Amino acid sequence: MPVAHVDFALDFVNEGIDCWAYYCTTPRSGFPNRLMDTPLPKTAMHGFLFYRWPFEGFLHWGYNCWYERQTRTLIDPFT
């Protein structure tokens, strides 16, 4: 099952290819992203959008990497 960025996922649907959609740090405008600074009313719109969008699913991208890249050194993701 393809998982396409929301900018391109409709291209898959228009070609008759079932897919999931995702977004992470982009796009910042025009879509209700799920970042820490996203206002809660925007986040609450996700259920409506998932109902209306023609995608088979949504991939939640979460910032959950607590280590420096390719190391075992812990980091503080909030700084």
Supply the pLDDT for residue 44: 80
pLDDT tens-place string over residues 12-58: 999 999 999 888 766 666 666 666 677 788 778 878 887 888 999 88
Q: Which among 33, 36, 30, 16 has a CA at the least distance from the CA of 77? A: 36
Q: What is the mean pLDDT of the chain?
A: 80
pTM: 0.61
Inter-residue contact 34 to 16 (CB < 8 Å): no
In percent, the amount of the chain with pLDDT more than 70 equals 77
Q: Domain map of the chain by residue range?
A: 3-60
Ordered DSSP codes for 46-76 = HHHHHHHS--SEEEEP-----B-TTSS-B--
Per-residue tokens: 45: 């719109």
